[in-house]
Structure 1
């Protein structure tokens, strides 16, 4: 089945689009439900055809389907998340490839992102901000202990749920993940993709060393967390 309808946000799907055991869900007007998009991938709401659970299905954008560097980064992201087990990191369910398009399914968080929440409701109360800060700090500690730097911590990469009425944050999008162990830092040449871009990240939340394209360690994520809370 061609994946073109899925890669054209806003267009109606002529048929259900399926990746492995996952079927992309459509809105009432027949358009795929787009949850988010970035430079290298888009995330859609999907359903596991057999287990009947809702997931967030991320696929590489059409532009980068054949980009070896982006494909490797996509796989690196999935492998990193698969190694992490923490209540405040969205779980990875599956990884696969269909017609040359890499994709993976992860935990669906129905409360939207922290960025969306603040844009709609304004700044969070101090107590709730502290709770979310503690939760994401725990997620970062898990990633750092496992040897990973997130490198793109920002409000839009923090998803919210409220299973018992209390704020429950989950860290997502490890697309720029980098090893944090000594000697494992990748060069910025490894970060270049087909468009020749060097800096990868979000300037408003990036640490000074990230902006200067210097070696990074776990403090990079702590700086980004501070910017997010601010």
Structure 2
């Protein structure tokens, strides 16, 4: 019942190539925009339960009078959906190029991202690493935050409605079930009722269950999508989650991610995060308790588990109680002199740190880093020299600070992109007054550019290790010299997560209005990517 390959639309403006997918309300085609010689995706309104097609003419017909009225109503909704999406200007929401009516039905033309859907990716490759899953989830969360600010719910978040581009970035599609709400949260649009099993929460199964605005409905689906990415298993139906809870997640998943999924997929809407900001805050906090369910309660209750007493490390000595008696003044002076002597020797000899990796896996963050202490420039044999430690640190293994992009003060914890620094940020802040490395360390230092980060990735040898108690990468350059990048994690607002397992380092190059390029890594991969400008990331300066 679909259009044949080679069919021309709009007087030859578009040429149909093949079918990309089909649902209950439409068919999506891969097509060519002939004049520009570019691939596009075209969605055709076609209610398969009520519509027929004349193969010779491509015209769509509807049977009974009742069906005609129903189809006409939803066709009008289809066109309205296209115009609504066209008004949503966001890097992770599909872009509408054109909308038109032909063959007694309606069409809209979208950009073609070229790498298939997230669902197709999972079929080909299986479950994804946590770092990659979070890369997609952060992008989808930002798209949802944007549409929620416009008083909308998507109501159909799932891997099949997420397209990937050739740069491995996610784009949200299919607003066919979405609803708009007024300022008081009351529904203002009529849409068909649809359920994606495993991704839809309980309220979507109820008549009128989504008649009032609630970001928590989309947050359930976002949590379910994260579950699918990490397990490659379709999440259980909402009723099963209500009765039995979620199946165990793989033990390799971090505590904060596992907790966020469980919290997002709570059966009761009021028990979930109530905004995308709350969801992201959970995701970046590693200190949340695990969740248990009290079976004696009629409704699900979240009970924080009590952490057991930490076991002693094998071979660690028992620590005696602190002595009650005080040191004499003479002892205090001797100790102070000894500390000064040792510190002086340490500073004088701290010209390199090319030492074997330590065995400890305990991450160490200094409590009071010296933010204005410049590091030494290390010549890796690249186009620039890289600092030996982070801004806000005083040694290679120290974490340093986590800063929003283009925040020279280092104090901004806002989760609004317009505060970093404005709606139209400069495309390159390296060496400018927005560059925290330049401001804190002086004119010889600046943020690396996107290309300099890429050079570090492509021309150096990377080895995951533990250095003086901090996990991270020892990076050896063509010259044989090397630097250590600790896995500092990331900050959302005032919450810090993913320490010891992930590292995120800013470049000074803007990706788009809301995003900047950065280096991201885990113990299995490192790559140049991009993220939201308001997230707190590490800064490793460079100099000539």
Matched residue count: 203
Q: 1:184 to 1:80 in 2, by over 3 A?
A: farther
Q: Is 1:8 aligned to 2:2, yes or no?
A: yes
Larger radius of gyration: 2
Distance in 2 (CA, whole Å) between partners of 1:201 and 1:19 is 34
Distance 1:83 1:8, change over 3 A: closer
Structure 1 position 101, deviation (Å): 1.4
Please tell me whether the aligned partners of residues 21 and 27 of structure 2 are also in contact (alpha carbons under 8 angstroms): yes
State whether residues 180 and 218 of structure 1, in contact with CA within 8 Å, keep that contact through their aligned partners in structure 2: no
Deviation at 1:73, TM superposition (A): 2.1
TM score, norm. by length of structure 2? 0.36
Residue 49 (structure 1) shift = 2.0
3-state DSSP class of the match of 1:176? coil
- Listed as ranges, the matches of 1:16-31 within 5 Å are 16-19=7-10, 21-25=13-17
What SS does the corresponding residue of 1:152 show, helix, strand or coil?
coil
Question: 1:79-228 alignment to 2 at 5 Å?
Answer: 79-163=83-167, 167-181=168-182, 182-186=184-188, 190-191=190-191, 199-213=193-207, 214=209, 215-216=211-212, 217-228=214-225
Shift of 1:207: 1.6
Q: TM-score, normalised by structure 1?
A: 0.81
SS at match of 2:175: coil
- How far apart in 1 are the matches of 2:73 and 2:179? 14
Shift of 1:184: 3.8
1:69 is paired with a residue whose SS is helix
Alpha-carbon separation, structure 2, partners of 1:8 and 1:80: 25
SS at match of 2:164: strand
Give, in angstroms, the shift of residue 186 of structure 1.
5.0
User: How far did 1:183 drift?
Assistant: 4.9
1:191 CA drift (Å): 4.0
Deviation at 1:80, TM superposition (A): 1.7
Supply the distance in 1 between the matched residues of 2:155 and 2:10 (Cα, whole angstroms): 28
Runs of 4+ residues deviating >6 angstroms:
none
Does the CA contact (< 8 Å) of 2:113 and 2:166 recur in 1? no
Q: Residue 91 of structure 2: SS of its match in structure 1?
A: coil
Gaps spanning 5+ residues in structure 2: where?
A: 52-59, 61-67, 228-544
CA RMSD of aligned residues (A): 2.0
Q: Aligned-pair distance for 1:162?
A: 2.8
1:62-84 deviation line (CA, Å, top 9, x unaligned): 63465122212212211221110
Equivalent residue in structure 2 for 1:60, among 37, 40, 45: 45
CA distance in 1, matches of 2:43, 2:7: 16
Q: Could you give the per-residue CA deviations for residues 22-73 of structure 1, whole angstroms, max 9, x where no partner exists?
A: 2212xxxxxxx11111110000011112222211000012634651222122
Q: Secondary structure at the match of 2:37?
A: coil
1:38 to 12, 20, 23: 23
Cα shift readout 1:72-116 (whole Å, capped 9, x = no counterpart): 221221122111011111100000001311000001121111111
C-alpha separation in 2, matches of 1:88 and 1:205: 20
Per the alignment, residue 364 of structure 2 pairs with: none
In 2: Cα distance, 1:226 partner to 1:149 partner: 15
Mark the CA change 1:183 to 1:126 in structure 2 (over 3 Å): closer, same or farther. Answer: closer
In structure 2, distance between residues paired with 1:53 and 1:162: 15
Higher relative contact order (CA 8 A, sep 6+): 1
Residue ranges of structure 1 left out of the alignment (5+ in a row) = 1-6, 26-32, 193-198
Distance 1:132 1:93 in 2: 24
- Mapped to 2, the partners of 1:208 and 1:202 lie a distance apart of 11
Aligned counterparts of 1:211 and 1:223: Cα–Cα separation in 2: 13
1:111 alignment partner, SS class: strand
Question: Does the CA-based 8 Å contact 1:80-1:177 persist in structure 2?
Answer: no
